[in-house]
Structure 1
């Protein structure tokens, strides 16, 4: 049992190392030029050489993403509560939100540039627009799928509709909420980088765009690695919080 747990714990690291070794062997063995497909070693060298501008750009991208993501949490929870608690609101708003979510966010960025100019505004808004939908849908789903039998029992005991939603519906929606956060945070980083590449003057996206235009692919890949690392770190943070606040919803995993 202990061996199995250790294997599960270290399996992501082992798979990552194996992928990096295979990547290095393929690039070296086939003599692929770095401006086409750089090796992990070449990317690591760029990290060492340009660590200051890379981490400065990463910090800018991180807090812009967090601003947009914070707005998406507030708006997503409010809309999710409205849609999930009212059948009329669900019928009226949900199809419109699905249609809006289907619009490519790359097509919205130029409009945001016209409205807010080049800089932080498009990045924050794109991160928000691309990440609030999963939060809204999951909160609404958690509230809308509340068992009718449970609601009937609570009504018989004297609970009002508001009491059922606040004291039962919202706690029951927490696992859905944390699941949406883990999806939304990765999308938020995508939105920020997209805006930075299209209409930014700083950040990882702007750095990657500049590096690509100069055919400095190892530096561009270094930016990709930083974005992935930040998204994975935030994903793990929400997983940790979820595990320690909604253990009651994961009884089957307590023995693992």
Structure 2
């Protein structure tokens, strides 16, 4: 006779946000302990790793205007580069589906842009691109932001466009539809999850490319110059504050694109509406 006995203690499934919050608290606690013990005496009068209260104090002392001014410029550079890089990647991916013979050329271009060290390109841009006015987006930062997202979006878009159902493509062909009709009616819909995922990953990549462009360029306003100034002044709390805020900004952009992707293509996350 089968037994219907159930275990006395059932495993508790915590919500995802609770697990994330516990992880964040654990990281901050470990950071605080190491900053006040192991790394407290590192450096001649300068804390290489400041404690969390020191970073918070630095954020407060710097003020909202300081972060808004610098991050505003960097976000503008990342946004412009994001649009250019992803737009060009999506256009080239669509052209490949219409003209398959160009796939080799497009993929070679994408691979070259991915393999060439971005630092080397940034150094060349310093000589080529003119110095921007104070507070204006830098051309080299925009270019590196666009370059940082181009490869992943091309690959993601092509994989998604090629994953369309063959029977649906045959139906369009039987009814006299062209490759453009296949692209518009079938391939684009099938590729939405892959394209949206590539665009989501491109958000932090574009921001990182813009910051790197500022590091290598001759600019006076932005996250890159702010970090350089803080490093030269041995202001480690401000350096850490800029780094943390940069991570939060990139994470926020990634999350926003994730919400947009879930709203546009809910089936890509296994949801149903």
1:14 paired with 2:14, answer: no
Shift of 1:254: 4.9
* Equivalence map 1:238-249=2 (5 Å): 238-249=257-268
Residue in structure 1 matching 2:36, options 5, 28, 39: 28
- Once the two structures are overlaid, the 10-residue window that deviates more, 159-168 or 79-88, is 79-88
1:45 paired with 2:64, answer: no
| 1:86 aligned partner | 99
Shift of 1:189: 0.8
In the alignment, the residues of structure 1 paired with residue 272 and residue 52 of structure 2 have an alpha-carbon distance, to the nearest angstrom, of: 38
Q: Given that residues 113 and 151 in structure 2 are in contact (C-alpha distance below 8 angstroms), is that contact kept between their aligned partners in structure 1?
A: no
Deviations 1:166-208, CA, capped at 9 Å, x for gaps: 1111111111111111111111111111111121221011100
* Equivalence map 1:117-136=2 (5 Å): 117-119=130-132, 120-136=138-154
Q: Given that residues 118 and 201 in structure 1 are in contact (C-alpha distance below 8 angstroms), is that contact kept between their aligned partners in structure 2?
A: no
Residue-pair matches, total:
252
Normalized per residue, the structure richer in helix is 1
1:195 paired with 2:208, answer: no
| 1:111 aligned partner | 124
CA RMSD of aligned residues (A): 2.0
In the alignment, the residues of structure 1 paired with residue 96 and residue 29 of structure 2 have an alpha-carbon distance, to the nearest angstrom, of: 49
Q: Given that residues 92 and 106 in structure 2 are in contact (C-alpha distance below 8 angstroms), is that contact kept between their aligned partners in structure 1?
A: no
Q: Given that residues 109 and 122 in structure 1 are in contact (C-alpha distance below 8 angstroms), is that contact kept between their aligned partners in structure 2?
A: yes
| 2:204 aligned partner | 186
Q: Given that residues 84 and 142 in structure 1 are in contact (C-alpha distance below 8 angstroms), is that contact kept between their aligned partners in structure 2?
A: no
Query: What SS is found at the alignment partner of 2:116?
Result: coil
Q: Given that residues 57 and 202 in structure 1 are in contact (C-alpha distance below 8 angstroms), is that contact kept between their aligned partners in structure 2?
A: yes
1:217 paired with 2:264, answer: no
- Once the two structures are overlaid, the 10-residue window that deviates more, 82-91 or 227-236, is 82-91
- Structure 1: gaps of 5 or more residues: none
- Structure 2: gaps of 5 or more residues: 1-11, 133-137
In the alignment, the residues of structure 2 paired with residue 86 and residue 12 of structure 1 have an alpha-carbon distance, to the nearest angstrom, of: 46
In the alignment, the residues of structure 2 paired with residue 109 and residue 64 of structure 1 have an alpha-carbon distance, to the nearest angstrom, of: 14
Q: Given that residues 65 and 192 in structure 1 are in contact (C-alpha distance below 8 angstroms), is that contact kept between their aligned partners in structure 2?
A: yes
Q: Given that residues 84 and 141 in structure 1 are in contact (C-alpha distance below 8 angstroms), is that contact kept between their aligned partners in structure 2?
A: no
Q: Given that residues 85 and 144 in structure 1 are in contact (C-alpha distance below 8 angstroms), is that contact kept between their aligned partners in structure 2?
A: no
Shift of 1:76: 1.6
Instruction: Compute the TM-score of the two structures, normalised by the length of structure 1.
Output: 0.91
Shift of 1:32: 4.3
1:67 paired with 2:80, answer: yes
In the alignment, the residues of structure 2 paired with residue 123 and residue 21 of structure 1 have an alpha-carbon distance, to the nearest angstrom, of: 35
Instruction: Compute the TM-score of the two structures, normalised by the length of structure 2.
Output: 0.85
Q: Given that residues 194 and 205 in structure 1 are in contact (C-alpha distance below 8 angstroms), is that contact kept between their aligned partners in structure 2?
A: yes
In the alignment, the residues of structure 1 paired with residue 97 and residue 22 of structure 2 have an alpha-carbon distance, to the nearest angstrom, of: 42
Larger-gyration structure (1/2): 2
- Once the two structures are overlaid, the 10-residue window that deviates more, 188-197 or 48-57, is 48-57
Q: Given that residues 98 and 179 in structure 2 are in contact (C-alpha distance below 8 angstroms), is that contact kept between their aligned partners in structure 1?
A: no
